[in-house]
Amino acid sequence: MKLTLKIWRQKNQTDTGSLQEYKLDQLNPHMSFLEMLDTLNEQLIIKGDDPVAFDHDCREGICGQCGVMINGMAHGPLPHTTTCQLHMRSFNDGDTIYIEPFRSEIFPIRKDLSIDRSAFDRIIASGGYISTNTGQAPDALAIPIAHEVVEAAFDSAACIGCGACVATCKNGSAALFTSAKISHLVLLPQGKEERAARIKNMVQTMDKEGFGHCTNTEACQVECPQNISVLNIARMNYEFIRAKALEK
């Protein structure tokens, strides 16, 4: 198949950047989207041009490193699919595809399509854990956890931290990401002890980093590769109010 690509090129964080046009042909529809970019880069390198920088690593949808806007959609046209799991059979011969970095002021561009999502790490560092040191754990069966509870915790814990929720949100909110971690931990008996401190610290960090507020458009869940539920956000709000109420 043949494609016209309009790709965001930006040398570094301070460069202004612009869309550049590239043409590719003889593409195999079974290629992944990133393999299509590999093919473009092979050609650019041989021509002596700078290859397009993009984030990726595991290429099986779990590391959370890949992610670009494809025709304005985070991770492209398929629901609940990372960029690396998207294949060219989802496009038509002759298409023009716009490829841009994830959109958020909080995710500065390193180069081209590659972005800095360290704000997510800082949210986790501020409380996204159970405070246990190595060696302190009681036997794993000491506290039974009902099947449904652990499955629900898993659903929240499945977040891969890719940032598509932020990129797709008109407010640039990290509510889905943050609430997924809060729900994962507070659902489990081990995580209940420090629930009040956790929610306050994580929400505070989220605000300090400059992420926008959630206005319940629910666009985030649609783009989320793991289909993390917006109900996590409701739980986060509940936890926040609970913590604030108990403060008094």
CA–CA distance, 188 with 195 (Å, rounded to integer): 11
Please report whether residue 131 would count as binding another protein according to CB under 8 A. Answer: yes
Please report whether residue 116 would count as binding another protein according to CB under 8 A. Answer: yes
Q: What would the x/- binding string for another protein be over residues 184 to 223, using CB under 8 A?
A: xx--x-xx--------------------------------
Stretch of 32-40, 91-99, 214-222, 232-240 lying at the interface with another protein (CB under 8 A) = 32-40
Please report whether residue 171 would count as binding another protein according to CB under 8 A. Answer: no
CA–CA distance, 78 with 75 (Å, rounded to integer): 8
Q: Contact 203/211 with Cβ under 8 angstroms?
A: no
Q: Which residue in the set 139, 245, 246, 248 belongs to the binding site for another protein (CB under 8 A)?
A: 139
- Which residue, 207 or 215, is less far from another protein as judged by CB? 207
CB of 79 to another protein, least distance (A): 11
Closest to 190 (Cα-Cα) out of 227, 150, 217, 221: 150
CB of 222 to another protein, least distance (A): 16
- Which residue, 86 or 175, is less far from another protein as judged by CB? 86
Joined together, the tokens standing for residue 243 give 């913590």
Stretch of 17-25, 117-125, 167-175, 236-244 lying at the interface with another protein (CB under 8 A) = 117-125
Q: Contact 73/223 with Cβ under 8 angstroms?
A: yes
Please report whether residue 101 would count as binding another protein according to CB under 8 A. Answer: no
> Using CB under 8 A, which residues numbered 41 to 70 contact another protein?
42, 45-46, 48, 50-51, 53, 55-65
Please report whether residue 158 would count as binding another protein according to CB under 8 A. Answer: yes
Long-range contacts (CB closer than 8 Å, 24 or more residues apart) made by 237-245: 239/182, 239/186, 239/195, 239/199, 240/199, 240/200, 240/203, 242/195, 242/196, 242/199, 243/195, 243/196, 243/197, 243/199, 243/200, 244/200
Q: Which residue in the set 1, 145, 222, 231 belongs to the binding site for another protein (CB under 8 A)?
A: 145
Please report whether residue 11 would count as binding another protein according to CB under 8 A. Answer: yes
212 in helix, strand or coil? Answer: strand
CA distances from 56 to 15, 65, 155, 203 (A): 22, 5, 24, 28
Please report whether residue 161 would count as binding another protein according to CB under 8 A. Answer: yes
- Which residue, 81 or 168, is less far from another protein as judged by CB? 81
Cα angle, residue 56 at apex, residues 127 and 173 outer, rounded to 5°: 40
